[in-house]
C-alpha cells in the first residue's frame, strides 16, 4: 500500500544510490592474486584484512585511504619476502578507487525525481567528508535532496541526534539503505521506519541480520520505492 502523506525519506548513498563495494572487492581480488604469485598462503588473507579494518575504523574512520593502509599492512604480513615494489603496486591499486567514476544504480534518478515531488528527501551517508562529498557531486543527484548529512558513523545514537537536530517525527521518518548494520537496525532502534534494499555485494563488515520489525519494508530494487511512497 502506498503512503500518500508526506514523509521524511533518509536515503543511504554507497550501494544504495550507486555502486561502491564492487571496486574494493576487485582490488582485493587483484591483491590476493599478487600474493598467490609470490607464493603466499592466502587462505586467511581476507579474514585478516577484515580484522585490520575493524581495528583501524574506530580510530581513523572510513574511506579509501584508510582501506589502503589496512590492505598494505595485511599484504606485507602475508608476503613471504618483503618487496617495496609490490607494496607500492598494492597502494596504487587501492588509491585508484578514488578516480573511479560514480556508477549510479539502475532506476535511481527516475525514482528520486518521483519521490522528491511527494516527500522530503535527505541523503544520509557515512565516511570521509571529502571523499563522500566528491561522490555526491559526481553523481549529479544532489538536486533531489533537501539536505545532505555525511556522518562519521551511522548508529542508533547518530540517528537519534539527527532526529532531534532536524526536528523530525520518528514515525514519519524512514531510513532507506542496503546495510542492516548501518541503515536498518539502528534506525529502527531509534524509533524510525526503514526500507531494506539488499545489494549483492554489500561490504562484509556491514553484514548483519535485519531486525524483524513491523516498521520494516524489504524491497528487491530501488525503483520499487515508487510502489510504496
Domains assigned to the chain: 8-18+102-227 (3.40.50.1000), 21-99 (1.10.150)
Query: Which residue shows C-alpha cell 554489500?
Result: 202
pTM score of the predicted model? 0.94
CA-to-CA distance for 127 and 198, rounded, in angstroms? 20
Query: In the chain, which residues have pLDDT < 70?
Result: 1-2, 4
Residue 5 is predicted with a pLDDT of 87
Give the pLDDT score at 187: 98
The reported pLDDT for the residue numbered 1 is 58
How far apart, in whole angstroms, are the C-alpha atoms of residue 12 and residue 23? Answer: 18
* Residue 185, C-alpha cell as written in the block: 537496525
| pLDDT tens digits, one per residue of 33-80 | 999 999 999 999 999 999 999 999 999 999 999 999 999 999 999 999
Cell 573511479 belongs to 100
| CA separation for the pair 83, 76 (Å, rounded) | 8
- Give pLDDT, residue 51: 97
Q: Are 31 and 90 in contact (CB under 8 A)?
A: yes
Amino acid at each position: 500500500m502506498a503512503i500518500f502523506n508526506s514523509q521524511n525519506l533518509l536515503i543511504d548513498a554507497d550501494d544504495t544510490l550507486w555502486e561502491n563495494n564492487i571496486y574494493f572487492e576487485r582490488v582485493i581480488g587483484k591483491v590476493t592474486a599478487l600474493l598467490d604469485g609470490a607464493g603466499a598462503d592466502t587462505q586467511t588473507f581476507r579474514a585478516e584484512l577484515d580484522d585490520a579494518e575493524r581495528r583501524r575504523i574506530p580510530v581513523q574512520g572510513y574511506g579509501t585511504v584508510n582501506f589502503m593502509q589496512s590492505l598494505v599492512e595485511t599484504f606485507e604480513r602475508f608476503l613471504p619476502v618483503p618487496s617495496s615494489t609490490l607494496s607500492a603496486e598494492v597502494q596504487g591499486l587501492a588509491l585508484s578507487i578514488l578516480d573511479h567514476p560514480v556508477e549510479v544504480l539502475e532506476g535511481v534518478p527516475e525514482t528520486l525525481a518521483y519521490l522528491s515531488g511527494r516527500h522530503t528527501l535527505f541523503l544520509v551517508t557515512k565516511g570521509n567528508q571529502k571523499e563522500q562529498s566528491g561522490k555526491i557531486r559526481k553523481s549529479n543527484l544532489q538536486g533531489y535532496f533537501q539536505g545532505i548529512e555525511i556522518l562519521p558513523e551511522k548508529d542508533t545514537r547518530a540517528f537519534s541526534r539527527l532526529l532531534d537536530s532536524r526536528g523530525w517525527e520518528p514515525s514519519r521518518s524512514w531510513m532507506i539503505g542496503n546495510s542492516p548494520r548501518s541503515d536498518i537496525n539502528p534506525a529502527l532502534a531509534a524509533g524510525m521506519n526503514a526500507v531494506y534494499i539488499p545489494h549483492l555485494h554489500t561490504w562484509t563488515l556491514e553484514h548483519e541480520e535485519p531486525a524483524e520489525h513491523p516498521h520494516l519494508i524489504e524491497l528487491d530494487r530501488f525503483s520499487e520505492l515508487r510502489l510504496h511512497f
